[in-house]
């Protein structure tokens, strides 16, 4: 539906990505905070459905580049971490589940 409603010329960036990369993966990550992350020791808390995008460039069957974009702010919030201007400010906040 989107492709017929707007011609490809309306999205030059999208076309450029399509020509330069072989695979784009949109995923949602979930897990348990069991090790140090952003200087914060393991909390044992879970994060659910955090958006992640992976872009892979392949040539002649070989991986040339990989880029990962993850919503770490959403992950930190779910883990009860305060992310602010001070990079050492990662103290956990109490949540309803803790």
Tens digit of each residue's pLDDT (9 = 90 or more) over 22-68: 788 888 989 999 999 888 889 899 999 999 998 888 888 888 888 89
**pLDDT cut 70: percent of the chain above it:** 62
Distance CA 55, CA 79 (A): 26
Query: How many CA within 13 A on the CB side of residue 53?
Result: 4
Q: Does 22-98 carry CATH code 3.30.70.20?
A: no
Neighbouring-strand partners of residue 57: 65
Mean pLDDT of 7-35: 69
Determine contact, residues 90/62, Cβ cutoff 8 Å: no
Domain extent listing, the chain:
22-98
Enter the tokens of residue 17. Answer: 């990505």
For residue 25, the model assigns a pLDDT of: 85
pTM of the predicted protein model = 0.59
17-35 in b/e form (b: 16+ CB < 10 A) is eeeebeeeeeeeeeeebee
Higher pLDDT, 36 or 17: 36
Mean pLDDT of the chain: 75
Give me the sheet containing 46-59, strands edge to edge: 23-32, 46-59, 62-70
For residue 2, the model assigns a pLDDT of: 40
For residue 61, the model assigns a pLDDT of: 81
How far the first Cα of the chain sits from its last, in Å, is 44
For residue 78, the model assigns a pLDDT of: 93
């Amino acid at each position: 539906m989107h492709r017929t409603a707007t011609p490809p010329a309306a999205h030059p960036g999208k076309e450029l990505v399509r020509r330069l990369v072989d695979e784009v993966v949109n995923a949602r990550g979930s897990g348990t905070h069991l090790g140090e992350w952003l200087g914060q020791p393991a909390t044992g808390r879970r994060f659910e459905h955090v958006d992640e995008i992976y872009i892979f460039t392949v040539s002649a069957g070989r991986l040339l580049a990989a880029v990962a974009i993850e919503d770490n702010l959403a992950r930190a919030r779910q883990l009860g971490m305060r992310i602010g201007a001070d990079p050492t400010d990662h103290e956990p906040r109490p949540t309803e589940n803790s």
